[in-house]
């Protein structure tokens, strides 16, 4: 049996090697139109306008009334988070949200960084906290685009921004000082949603490239996890000459031969290039990979097929929205948190931070448009898009956080990103790296940029 599997794997490797050489190619950079109706003949307004997050008494009153009208269903005894968000703990979250959480104060906090909007292809109107501190004499801040994913928002980066823009104040070396730009994906938060089908990660990458050039940056670094990882990867495939370096904490590797042979890794891991740490994080395979993906991918199937249906409920109920999103911050941070009555949510996050992210979705009414992103990117199936079959030829760094939903060994990453110059096994942390472990991620970004600068 094992011999047959080994022979099959070797045959697959030979076929893969014959059809996938290191061919450097780029995606075409195209212009889109995502606004309503036909594209107008007039030139697009390219102005960049200041923007502030706002709220009102009516908005807060409506939220409180909806929370007060929530109908709870009692959880099964001893179910913890195995059936989803535990409604006993949800009552505590709702009490804090209703009686202690101060949205006005959080709006002031969100506005601590300058925000801007600009029209690009009549979608996105990207809102971007843009922050830079004075660089040491003789040095210019390095532009760094950071892209969030689902169910996060630009707020994911609020704790890492000062570590990158003002490192010396926070006990880090000031060898690299960054100007950080954090746009919202179109249809997320305050970023205008598309009126048309098809706005996927490649289209978003093109919009964000145009955003960076509009801001005056011709060369820049990019960083992302979750959807941000795919968008940044696509940017490197679209405009590699403009991307000085790509840093990721999640990687999508659907076509690698290595991803086809994980069942062999427990016995033949060293022959496949796995390290002891890889084997520790990938095995036992049934628990670490198969069951983990099965448990955590239900939302993905819904959002990649019929996002608008469940979206009707989530856009109407702040409590339902909170339960649906916050459950991800439990098990995606650490899978063992499903064994806890409170899902371990407050072990890594504060309720204030978690609910601030929820409020960005709730007050903008963008849960439906954010979920449609799965349909646009996955609704046609896997390996049907050209970018999925392409490699990336810009200097790349990768942070492997141990509690990520699926560990990605260095061999897997390098099969997609041949110019991988930095791969780090992180000390702790899960899927929401910038939100959960901002200091660790900031240090690894800085390490990667040092290596990239040596090679430039």
226 is catalytic: yes
Determine whether 374 is an active site residue: yes
Report phi then psi at 152, rounded to 5: -95, -170
Residue of 237, 249, 94, 50 whose CA lies nearest to 157 = 249
Q: Give the length of the chain.
A: 456
Please, which residues have CB within 8 angstroms of residue 110's CB and are 6 or more apart in sequence? 53, 155, 158, 356
Whether residue 420 contacts residue 445, with contact meaning beta carbons closer than 8 Å, is answered with no
Pairing type for strands 178-181 and 142-147 reads: parallel
Q: Which of 226, 278, 417, 423 is catalytic?
A: 226
Using the structure block, give the residue that is written with the tokens 């992180």.
Answer: 426
Distance CA 131, CA 114 (A): 7
Could you give the angle at the alpha carbon of 17 between the alpha carbons of 203 and 414, nearest 5°?
A: 55
Of 113, 374, 417, 423, which residue is the catalytic one?
A: 374
Distance CA 386, CA 293 (A): 25
Tokens linked to 294: 């099965």
Can you tell me the distance from the alpha carbon of 405 to that of 377, in angstroms, rounded to the nearest whole number?
A: 19
Residue 455 CB coordination number (10 Å): 9
- DSSP assignment of 96-154, as one string? HHHHT--HHHHHHHHTTS-EEE--BTTBB-----EE--PPPTT--PEEEEEE--TT--G
- Is residue 372 within 8 Å of residue 308, measured between CB atoms? yes
Angle CA 192–195–197, to nearest 5: 120
| Strand pairing category for 130-131 and 420-425 | unpaired
CB 125 within 8 A of CB 118: yes
Q: Which of 113, 407, 431, 444 is flagged as catalytic?
A: 431
| 262: exposed, middle or buried (Cβ count in 10 Å: 0-12, 13-18, 19+) | buried
Q: Does 301 qualify as catalytic in the annotation?
A: no
The catalytic residues are 226, 374, 431
């Amino acid at each position: 049996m094992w011999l047959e599997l080994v022979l099959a794997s070797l045959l697959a490797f030979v076929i893969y090697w014959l059809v996938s050489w290191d061919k450097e190619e780029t995606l075409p950079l195209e212009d889109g139109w995502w606004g309503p109706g036909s594209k107008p003949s007039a030139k697009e307004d390219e102005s960049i306008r200041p923007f502030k997050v706002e709220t009102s008494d009516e908005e807060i009153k409506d939220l409180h009334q909806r929370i007060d009208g929530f109908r709870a269903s009692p959880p099964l005894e001893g179910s913890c988070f195995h059936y989803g968000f535990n409604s006993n703990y949800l009552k505590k979250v709702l009490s804090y949200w209703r009686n202690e959480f101060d949205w006005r104060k959080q709006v002031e906090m969100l506005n601590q960084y300058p925000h801007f909007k600009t029209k690009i292809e009549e979608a996105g109107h990207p809102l971007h906290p843009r922050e830079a501190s004075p660089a040491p004499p003789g040095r210019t801040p390095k532009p760094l685009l950071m892209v969030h994913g689902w169910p996060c928002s630009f707020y994911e980066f609020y704790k890492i921004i000062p570590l990158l823009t003002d490192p010396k104040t926070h006990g880090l070396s000031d060898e690299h000082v960054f100007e950080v730009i954090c746009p919202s994906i179109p249809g997320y938060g305050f970023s205008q949603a598309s009126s048309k089908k098809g706005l996927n990660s490649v289209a978003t990458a093109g919009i964000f490239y145009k955003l960076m050039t509009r801001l005056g940056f011709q060369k820049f670094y990019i960083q992302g996890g979750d959807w941000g990882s795919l968008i940044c990867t696509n940017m490197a495939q679209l405009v590699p000459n403009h991307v000085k370096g790509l840093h990721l904490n999640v990687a999508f590797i659907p076509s690698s031969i290595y991803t086809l042979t994980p069942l062999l890794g427990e016995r033949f891991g060293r022959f496949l290039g796995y390290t002891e740490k890889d084997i520790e994080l990938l095995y036992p395979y049934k628990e670490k990979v198969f069951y983990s993906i099965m448990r955590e991918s239900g939302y993905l199937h819904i959002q990649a097929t019929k996002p608008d249906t469940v979206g009707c409920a989530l856009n109407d109920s702040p409590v339902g929205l909170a339960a649906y999103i916050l459950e991800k911050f439990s098990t995606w941070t650490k899978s063992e948190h499903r064994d806890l009555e409170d899902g371990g949510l407050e072990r890594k996050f504060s309720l204030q931070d978690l609910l601030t992210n929820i409020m960005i979705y709730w007050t903008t009414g963008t849960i439906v448009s954010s979920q449609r992103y799965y349909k646009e990117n996955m609704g046609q199936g896997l390996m049907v898009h050209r970018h999925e079959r392409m490699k990336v030829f810009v200097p790349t760094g990768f942070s492997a956080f141990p509690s990520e939903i699926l560990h990605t060994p260095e061999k897997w990453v390098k099969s997609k990103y041949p110019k991988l110059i930095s791969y780090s096994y992180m000390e702790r942390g899960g899927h929401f790296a910038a939100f959960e472990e901002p200091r660790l991620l900031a240090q690894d970004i800085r390490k990667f940029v040092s290596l990239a600068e040596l090679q430039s």
